[in-house]
C-alpha cells in the first residue's frame, strides 16, 4: 500500500518536473519575443515623432519645437547633409531604418543611450539643429 502511494507521488513529481523543464524555456522565449516587439513598436513611434517634428520645423510650420520621447534599446540616429536616418537594430529582429531627406542640412547630437529625453528642434543659420536633454 505504501509503495503504490510512493509510486504515484514519484510519477506526479516526475510529471511536474518535466512540465517545468519544458514550460520555463517556452515562457522565457515568449517573454523575450514580447519585449523585442515592444522595443520595435517604441522605435516606430520615435521615428514617426522625430521625422514629423523635423519636417514641421524644416518647412517653417514651427519656428522650433520640443518633444518628449522614449528612446528604446537599439535606436541609433545620425544625419548626413540633409538626410536624417533612424536605425533600430536589436537582437533577433531584422534591422529597421527610417530615412527622410529635408530642405535644410541637419546637425544632430544623438542621445547617449536608451531612456526618456526632451528633443529640441531649431532652425538656426540655415541648419536644422536637433539636441537632447
Interval 31-37 mean pLDDT: 73
Domain tally for the chain? 1
pLDDT 10s digits, 41-71: 889 999 999 999 999 999 989 999 999 999 9
Residues ≥6 apart with Cβ < 8 Å to 111: 71, 75, 77, 117, 132
Note the pLDDT of residue 8: 78
Q: Which domain holds residue 61?
A: 2-132
Give the angle 68-71-77 at the CA atoms, nearest 5°: 105
Note the pLDDT of residue 11: 78
Amino acid at each position: 500500500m505504501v509503495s503504490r502511494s510512493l509510486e504515484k507521488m514519484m510519477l506526479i513529481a516526475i510529471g511536474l518536473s518535466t512540465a517545468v523543464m519544458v514550460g520555463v524555456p517556452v515562457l522565457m522565449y515568449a517573454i523575450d519575443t514580447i519585449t523585442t516587439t515592444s522595443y520595435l513598436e517604441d522605435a516606430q513611434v520615435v521615428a514617426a515623432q522625430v521625422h514629423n517634428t523635423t519636417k514641421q520645423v524644416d518647412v517653417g510650420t514651427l519656428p522650433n519645437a520640443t518633444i518628449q520621447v522614449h528612446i528604446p534599446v537599439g535606436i541609433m540616429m545620425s544625419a548626413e547633409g540633409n538626410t536624417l536616418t533612424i536605425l533600430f537594430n536589436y537582437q533577433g529582429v531584422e534591422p529597421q531604418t527610417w530615412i527622410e531627406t529635408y530642405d535644410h542640412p541637419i546637425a544632430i547630437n544623438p542621445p547617449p543611450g536608451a531612456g526618456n529625453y526632451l528633443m529640441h528642434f531649431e532652425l538656426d543659420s540655415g541648419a536644422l539643429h536637433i539636441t537632447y536633454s
